[in-house]
Structure 1
Amino acid sequence: MTQTIDKIAWIYLNEQKILCVRSKDKELFYIPGGKRESGEQDQQTLIREVEEELNVQLSQETIEHAGTFEAAADGKAEGITVRLTCYTADYQGELSPQSEIEELAWLSYTDLERVSAVSKIVLEQLHKQELIV
């Protein structure tokens, strides 16, 4: 039986690189975001998770769907996948790691080995679209 972990993520690009984060005690980076709480819509999850992880406020009127991606879940049993529903949005505030986030980094296509499996798919897609180098 396949189990899917449903996550919402924020794609933020700057100078043809994507913002990624790394949790404490983890090696791989991932695209900021997380799991929805009971009854939450995608946008609510996105705004809450990004504020918890990076201490910035997303501008709700700028949120746009950027794609949905699936891959095997890192560090989980075989048959468990992650579905990452991605959005772009502008923000107010200064990016700074909060909560479980130890580090943030601006990654490019050459950093594929540093990101989670589902994040690799996102980076590959952004590279094909010439949005990241």
Structure 2
Amino acid sequence: MNKIIDKVALIHIKNNCVLSTLSQSKNKLYFPGGKRENNESDIECLKREILEELNVHILENTVKFFGSFEAQADGHEPGVLVRMLCYFSDFSGTLKASNEVESFEWIKYEDRYRTSAVDILILEELKKQHLID
């Protein structure tokens, strides 16, 4: 049986680019977010993770489900999958990398090979819907 890592991610688009993060000791970009704790809802997880990683507050009334994506988990043995539940959202505050996040940047579709397998799927869908360049 495949093991599935359950994650929630923020998809935030500005100027046809999407927000991505670089974690300490990692060489790939990842969409901000993470694993849920203690039976959190998707939104609770998203709010906590984004505050921890980027020091901004998710505006709950702007949260909109984008999709669920599944792929081989980065850095795990074959057959371990990650399932990312992705949400669009606005936030308040000024982005500031914190906790395990070293930096953040705005990426385009052409940057997809710098990301994880599941993020590539998400970037492909964003491109298909003409949401990013």
Quickly name the TM-score band, shorter chain normalised: over 0.9
Q: Distance in 2 between matches of 1:39 and 1:101?
A: 24
Residue correspondence of structure 1 range 42-121 to structure 2 within 5 A: 42-121=42-121
Report the Cα offset of residue 38 of structure 1: 1.0
Cα distance per residue 1:24-76 (max 9 Å; x no partner): 01000010000000121000000000000000001111111010000000110
1:44 counterpart SS class: helix
Structure 2, unaligned stretches of length 5 or more? none
* Cα offset, 1:122, TM superposition: 0.3
Which residue in 2 is equivalent to 1:126?
126
Distance 2:102 2:70 in 1: 25
Alignment-derived partner of residue 34 in structure 1: 34
Per-residue CA deviation, residues 81-114 of structure 1 (Å, 9 max, x unaligned), is: 0000000111100001000000101000000111
Structure 1's consecutive aligned runs of 4 or more residues displaced over 4 angstroms after TM superposition are none
Amino acid paired to 2:102: E
Aligned match of 2:3: 3
Letter in 2 for 1:11: I
Tell me, in whole angstroms, the C-alpha distance in 2 between the residues paired with 1:4 and 1:39.
Answer: 16
Corresponding letter in the other structure for 2:83:
R
Instruction: Give the 3-state SS of the residue equivalent to 2:31 in structure 1.
Output: coil
Q: CA RMSD in A?
A: 0.5
> How many residues are matched?
133
Cα separation, 2, equivalents of 1:9 and 1:39 = 16
Percentage of pairs with the same residue: 44
TM-score normalized by the length of structure 1: 0.99
